[in-house]
Amino acid sequence: MNHLPPKEFYTTYEAGSRLFVSHSTVIDWIESGKLKAVKTLGGHRRIPREELERFMARHKMVSEQKKKPAILIVDDDQSIREGLKEILQKEGFKTYAASEGFEAGVSAIQYEPGLIILDIKMPGLDGFNACRLIKSNPLLKKIKILILTGYPTKPNIAKILKMGADRCLAKPVQTKILLNEISLLLELKNKA
């Protein structure tokens, strides 16, 4: 996997991503004195790397090297990306986001997610072509692709499955169903 060198300071979003919590939880920890941070001249909170590592060790938290694979969320609707990100981070997943198909391909190479949640109707490179390109790349073809679409017609489902998608769900989807599908695709459920 591609790993960037550790940063000296983390934003609340970056710390939340490393700790698998929302950035508002990180802010709560800072305001309650549980996690030390500094403020920039613009009033933004930054957590020193050493402090974040001490906090993680003190609370026996795992870092981004957690056992669950990362998930890339690809949707042109920011509210959907943010909603999915929040749900998945609460479940312990590291998440990344992209707003269209070309960005999805670049992010897939950069972050090597175990799963991509992909919309099919997007401006620029749509989900059909993004799926086809990802699955045709020998370095990326093992990534599971879960389609989450507002257009679950039979022709769309048949076409996207032919392009290599592993599963297709209709929007809106219940959180329980989404998480179950993700667990099955990533083989996270206990095999009895």
Q: 174 by DSSP, 3-state: which?
A: coil
In a domain, 50, yes or no: yes
> In terms of residue numbers, what domain contains 45?
9-58
Q: Do 53 and 118 belong together in one domain? A: no
Q: Do 40 and 76 belong together in one domain? A: no
In this structure, are residues 130 and 94 in contact, taking their beta carbons and an 8 Å threshold? Answer: no
pTM of the model: 0.65
Q: What is the pLDDT of residue 62?
A: 58
Which amino acid belongs to residue 101?
G
Torsion angle of alpha carbons 111, 52, 61, 3, nearest 10°?
20
Q: Do 77 and 149 belong together in one domain? A: yes
In a domain, 3, yes or no: no
- As for how many domains the chain has, the answer is 2
Q: Do 175 and 82 belong together in one domain? A: yes
Q: Which of 93, 89, 81, 103 is nearest to 148 (CA)?
A: 81
CATH code: domain of residue 43: 1.10.1660.10
CA 14-144-20 angle, 5° bins: 25
Q: Do 118 and 47 belong together in one domain? A: no
Q: What is the pLDDT of residue 190?
A: 44
How confident is residue 192, by pLDDT bands cut at 50, 70 and 90?
A: very low
Q: Which of 44, 56, 54 is nearest to 16 (CA)?
A: 56
Convert the pLDDT of each residue in 44-54 to its tens digit.
Answer: 899 998 898 88
Q: Which of 160, 103, 156, 157 is nearest to 128 (CA)?
A: 160
Q: Do 108 and 77 belong together in one domain? A: yes
Convert the pLDDT of each residue in 112-150 to its tens digit.
Answer: 999 999 999 999 899 999 999 999 999 899 999 999 999
